[in-house]
Amino acid sequence: MYKNKKKPAIAVLSILTALTILAGCQDQKARSQSEQDKTQYQQAPQTETATETDQTEGDTDMSATHSVEIQKSYKQITEHNPVMLQRFGADPYALVYNGRVYLYMTGDKPSYEADGSVKENTYSNINTINVVSSDDLVNWTDHGTVYAAGKNGAASWGANSWAPAAAYKNIDGKDKFFLYFANNGNGIAVLTADSPTGPFTDPLNGPLISRDTPTCAEVTWLFDPAVLMDDDGSAYIYFGGGVPSPDKAANPGTARVAKLSDDMISLDGDPIAIENVQYLFEDSGINKINGTYYYSYCTNFDVTLEAEKELGFSNGEIMTMKSDSPMGPFEPANGVLKNPEVFFGLGGNNHHCMFEFEGQWYIAYHSRILEEKMGILHGYRSTSIDKVRFNEEGEPAASVGTRNGVPQVKDFDPYQTIPAVTMANEAEIDTTQFGEEAKEYGSGDMILTGIKDGSWTSIEGVNFGPEGAKSIEVEYLGTGEGTINICLDLPSAEPVCRIPVSAAGKELTIVTAEFENPVTEKHTVYFVFEGSNYSVHSWKFNK
């Protein structure tokens, strides 16, 4: 049965009418597919669509199951990296809160030449911060782009928003959230909010740290913050980078640490230098692991062959130092991540964060694997996650960057209202702010847009249980018409149901489809779209 309802009115179509319109919901065909079948969705640029010659032998004949060709994604359907395809996102920083990981990323966005070709990324136009979150590290919900700096940003006094760091603290009985970022290389800003997704506002109307801050005038690059929330409730901020002159490449002296005041928006004392940070370039990181403080950073690109042999690290590598105090002194420890060029063949700056989630340590970092699939190759970066490896002494050690990424840490629950901008993978899909607050501040409620024939999103590891789902509700709006196909395990699989979408206008409308047979057990669920000029806000399966 299909039900369309514009809030609050409800219009119900009979089963017979719906079956007449759509020739019925298909019998559930939850078929297992080999990895060879799945790898056909390794994507060339998204502007291409799959054709019969793209099909591997034995794959479903798409003309028999869909009236449109299935669009291609920028990653294989077995891959989890990069975590987001709808936008670029660099310099990742993770905040774990209430069972979810929130990733904050520099909002890389392409610049264009007069002829429409993409320019090299100079970072000069970056003034937003992307936010996504997940409770399983595979399916990520898009929370939009914080309007952080620039004319329309919260910190309108600043030009740019690079390399964010996030923290939260309970103040006066309420959790408060703090988003720190660099105004290019000339200072650190802080924004505050009552939610990890905003809206964020500027409590200072100026920088938290600037070149007027004691000990900071001589820091070459006054940027790349990281924040430690210690077990006793105290907080510390780490920042800085750059090489003042070639003769100081081995020990630039540009790393700083300062204690934050209880309000998290002022300093409790002057910053001090972190001594002997060998070949420092940028990218402060900080973690407390088994009682030891690990400061991490990216090495510069002046590491000589002799130094590499002596010290055991190379250019653009993430290194760690350790201490029994949050403000040091620190001593050299281990390398934890080689430059992305080692893993993916394309190099550049290396930026990371390490975080613990559900008893496992992970490292988030950026690479150029998304722009490579897009055929751009101009320094636009995207975020990936892999596991942190530890040595025999229990110290973080050399980790490996992969396209497969990390396994899902828990099953996905389909029996709750899920934002349609939650996805493990997608093809030819956009997202945009929804509602006045999100449109004003950039982050918050989002809606799935840019739908065209054959575009799709997917959710991995959806556990329907033995009794299964009997129906699905989809909430949408727009002037267009089309069909939402619910497919299991492959986007080209025969739909278990086809949901009609009719012109709904500007009001959110709910269409409900009842399955002829319950959808049971665990699957990857694909939402394969037909038509255009409509947007999807949320969905929910019902038992």
Active site residues: 91, 282
Distances (CA, A) of 394 to 317, 335, 401: 20, 14, 20
From the list 197, 145, 140, 144, the residue with the least C-alpha distance to 422 is: 140
Reduced to 3 states (helix: H, G, I; strand: E, B; else coil), residue 236 is: strand
- Residues 229 and 169: beta-carbon distance below 8 Å: yes
- Residues 181 and 165: beta-carbon distance below 8 Å: yes
- Residues 140 and 89: beta-carbon distance below 8 Å: no
What's the distance, CA 142 to chain centroid?
8
d(CA 139, CA 83): 8
Structure token digits, residue 117: 């070709």
Structure-token match 């002057």, residue found: 270
- Exposed e or buried b per residue across 383-409, where buried means at least 16 C-beta atoms within 10 angstroms of its C-beta: bbbbebbbeeeebbbebebbbebbebb
- The 3 state secondary structure assigned to 425-455 is EEECCEEEECCHHHHHHCECCEEEECCCCCC
Start-to-end CA distance of the chain, whole Å, equals 14
Residues 6+ apart with CB under 8 A from 8: none
Structure token digits, residue 153: 């940003």
- The 3 state secondary structure assigned to 303-332 is CCHHHHHHHCCCCCCEEEEEECCCCCCCEE
As beta bridge partners, residue 147 has 128
Structure token digits, residue 252: 């630039």
From the list 197, 134, 69, 91, the residue with the least C-alpha distance to 406 is: 134
Distances (CA, A) of 128 to 33, 150, 360, 481: 40, 9, 30, 33
What is the longest distance spanned by two Cα atoms in the chain?
81
